[in-house]
Amino acid sequence: MTAAFFATKASLRLLRESDRGRVINIGDSACERPGPRDLALSYHVGKTGVYLLTRSFAVSEAAHGVTVNMVSPGYLENSVGLLSAAEIPAGRLGSFEDIFHAVEFLLSSESSYMTGSNLVVSGGWNLR
């Protein structure tokens, strides 16, 4: 969370001067559902913090033409504690390409009115 905060603060002047300032944070598919965690407590606390930073910066930077959004992966092919593909509603684990396409969309002009959003890319895992 600290890195996301300082990287965003350091880049704001340049982003505000550009015609298409974009901040895209990487979250976790469970960051909008805080609760007790058995494993990786600091990871989940940090990702929830990045979610709150994303929304806060989105409000403060909208007037400057800078959008601030987040992409939150679910289980990916290299995730720790992998599930079987059958446990994911989409029937497969996510790939880096899936995440790349979400980031690519948020960088595009088609997303210029989106700010403060969290795109969950989890194959439906977060719907459980």
Give the full edge-to-edge strand order of the sheet including 22-26: 22-26, 67-73, 118-121
Q: How far apart are CA 123 and CA 114, in angstroms?
A: 22
Burial letters 33-66, b for 16+ CB under 10 A, else e: eeeeeeeeeeebebbbbbbebbbebbeebeeeeb
51 belongs to the catalytic site = no
Instruction: Write the single-letter amino acid at 124.
Output: G
The answer to whether the beta carbons of residues 31 and 73 sit under 8 Å apart is no
Of the candidates 43, 51, 75, 113, the residue annotated as catalytic is 43
Catalytic residues: 43
